[in-house]
């Protein structure tokens, strides 16, 4: 069937030159005569030669395989699919290929795929770490000189590069939006206080309310699990307050969905009787609650930037850990009643607002 793979030596023979010459042609060296180069190329095409990167890679010591690994925790989530597309774009045009694996939040799966990728000699790794990922998990990689870029979720202790979205600025813009609609008592709902992401978002909230001259009131910060159920719980507590808030920014979209659930079960229509803004870390908002106003991130942009950062480090040889935060923007949707974030009194209509920084 397969006529024993055609190698450089075959084409060298056929072209009447030596293997080194062929090798030089392969790497586009300028040390080779134009005529011979053309000849060699022709022969390669005729014989159907395919370059064997495995062999090349073997020879060039710990050199570049031109493979970059990408591991995400849920490709089913369009957020990560977009991320992967962003990575693929820059990776492809740089002549690399990507290994893409899904962990489904399983730390074991993650370890397996990363190990497998290493065996295949990836020259870099982009990872959105599964929940329980240990900061030390990627140490062996960086020790081996393989750059790692962590995206979306930061990994506190790890000495690797990372890209996360600008949580603080996102919350500031969300609060500003609500304040602009006339809200005076805005709650911060959901999320566990022991995470860096929570801290960032809460800080943004605080900056926002203070900038709007509303003051920061601790009782308006109600933490809960960062889930739909947590949202239901949080809004319950918020409504039970003496001075009931009229609006809320939520830790993430899941919480926002729960908050809407909780409101409806109390005969309050989200967006009409109570303004809700989500945080679109998991961009499915559009599908789940078409008109929820949220702070949106640009996953594809994160992917592109992450890949660029990684390639830079790969080319530089040494990986200088670097941290970057990407901009987010407030997206106000009003196609459905549930999307209005305005209180009954202030029926101001905002079409779509971009928030700088």
Binding residues for a copy of itself, rule: CB under 8 A, are: 1-2, 5, 48, 50-55, 57-58, 61-62, 65, 67, 70, 75-76, 78, 81-82, 84-85, 88-89, 92, 95, 97-102, 109, 112-113, 115-121, 140, 143-145, 286-287, 290, 318
Map the footprint of DNA across residues 129-158, applying CB under 7 A.
none
What phi-psi label fits residue 188: left (phi over 0), alpha (psi between -120 and 50 degrees) or beta?
beta
Q: At what angle do helices 34-47 and 8-15 cross, to 10 degrees?
A: 120
Query: Minimum distance from CB of 96 to DNA (Å)?
Result: 16
For a copy of itself, the closer of residues 101 and 167 by Cβ is: 101
| Residues with Cβ within 8 Å of residue 170, at least 6 apart in sequence | 201, 204, 279, 295, 297, 328, 330
**The entry of a copy of itself, DNA, none that residue 240 binds, CB within 5 to 8 Å by partner kind:** none
**The entry of a copy of itself, DNA, none that residue 19 binds, CB within 5 to 8 Å by partner kind:** DNA
Q: Does 24 bind DNA (CB under 7 A)?
A: yes
How far is residue 121's CA from residue 68's CA, in Å, rounded to a whole number?
Answer: 9
Structure letter (DSSP) for residue 152: S
3-state secondary structure 43-86: HHHHHCCCCCHHHHHHHCCCCCCCEEEEEECCCCCHHHHHHHHH
Q: Does 331 bind DNA (CB under 7 A)?
A: no
For a copy of itself, the closer of residues 78 and 207 by Cβ is: 78
Among 32, 172, 255, 291, binds DNA (CB under 7 A): 32
- What SS3 class is residue 222? strand
Give CA angle at 199 (324, 202), nearest 5°.
110
For DNA, the closer of residues 15 and 158 by Cβ is: 15
**The entry of a copy of itself, DNA, none that residue 81 binds, CB within 5 to 8 Å by partner kind:** a copy of itself
- What SS3 class is residue 127? strand
Q: Does 1 bind DNA (CB under 7 A)?
A: no
Q: Which residue has the tokens 């962990």?
A: 103
For DNA, the closer of residues 59 and 351 by Cβ is: 59
Footprint on this chain of DNA (rule: CB under 7 A): 4-5, 7-9, 16-24, 26-27, 31-34, 36, 49, 51-52, 55-56, 58-61, 63
């Amino acid at each position: 069937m397969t006529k024993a793979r055609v190698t450089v030596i075959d084409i060298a023979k056929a072209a009447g030159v030596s293997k080194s010459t062929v090798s030089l042609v392969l790497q586009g060296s300028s040390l080779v005569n134009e005529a011979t180069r053309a000849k060699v190329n022709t022969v390669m095409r005729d014989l159907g030669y395919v370059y064997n990167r495995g062999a090349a890679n073997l020879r060039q010591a710990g050199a570049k395989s031109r493979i970059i690994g990408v591991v995400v925790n849920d490709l089913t989530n369009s957020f990560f699919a977009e991320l992967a597309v962003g990575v693929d774009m820059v990776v492809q045009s740089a002549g690399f290929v990507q290994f893409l694996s899904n962990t489904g939040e399983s730390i074991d799966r993650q370890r397996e795929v990363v190990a497998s990728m290493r065996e295949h000699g990836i020259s870099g790794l982009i990872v959105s770490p599964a929940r329980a990922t240990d900061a030390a998990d990627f140490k062996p990689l960086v020790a081996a000189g393989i750059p790692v870029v962590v995206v979306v979720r930061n990994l506190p202790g790890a000495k690797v590069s990372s890209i996360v979205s600008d949580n603080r600025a996102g919350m500031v813009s969300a609060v500003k939006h609500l304040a602009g609609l006339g809200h005076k008592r805005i709650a911060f709902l959901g999320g566990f206080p022991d995470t860096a992401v929570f801290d960032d978002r809460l800080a943004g909230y605080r900056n926002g309310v203070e900038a709007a001259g509303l003051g920061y009131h601790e009782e308006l910060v109600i933490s809960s699990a960062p889930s739909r159920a947590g949202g239901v719980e949080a809004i319950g507590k918020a409504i039970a307050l003496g001075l009931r808030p009229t609006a809320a920014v939520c830790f993430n979209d899941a919480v926002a969905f729960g908050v809407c659930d909780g409101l409806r079960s109390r005969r309050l229509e989200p967006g009409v009787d109570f303004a809700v803004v989500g945080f679109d870390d998991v961009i499915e908002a559009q599908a789940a609650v078409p008109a929820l106003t949220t702070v949106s991130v640009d996953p594809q942009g994160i992917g592109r930037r992450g890949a660029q950062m990684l390639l830079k480090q790969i080319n530089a040889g040494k990986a200088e850990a670097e941290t970057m935060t990407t901009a987010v923007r407030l997206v106000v949707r009003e196609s459905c009643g549930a999307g209005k974030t305005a209180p009954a009194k202030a029926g101001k209509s905002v079409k779509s607002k971009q928030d700088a920084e």
